[in-house]
Amino acid sequence: MQKKTLAFLAPPFAIARFGGRVAWCAAPIGTVWMSAIVGILIGIQGDMSTATREPMLWVIALGLAIWAVSSVWALMVIGGVDHDVAHDADSTLEHTVHAEEDELDPLEQIRGMR
């Protein structure tokens, strides 16, 4: 299944496929996605206070809006990962500065002053 299709249907699973540090984003996205599912199911169940138990369309619409938020969030994370993997000039991975072996630790210098 393609990444974008999976991001619309099940956003946390689309993120979890990448693994590594990106998988940490799957939990908050999954929480938002599950709240959308619960909202849609409660809306379909209907209003318990009426005799007809009609579906609550505004709750269903709110659930779909929350689902859209989680899908857009997942697409943004996937786009960021693809951007970093491509090693473009403006990717965050290209601007990461790694410490050199001979570089002194500034905190070690402060600890030595005690």
Mean residue pLDDT across the chain:
84
**Residue 2: per-residue pLDDT:** 85
For 48-92, write each residue's pLDDT tens digit. 777 778 899 999 999 999 999 999 999 999 888 877 776 677 666
Return the ∠ at Cα 16 (arms to 8 and 73), rounded to 5°.
45
| Closest alpha carbon to 38 in 73, 64, 17 | 64
pLDDT value of residue 43: 93
Q: Whole-angstrom Cα distance, residue 54 to residue 57?
A: 9
Query: Residue 14's CB: how many other CB atoms inside 10 A?
Result: 24
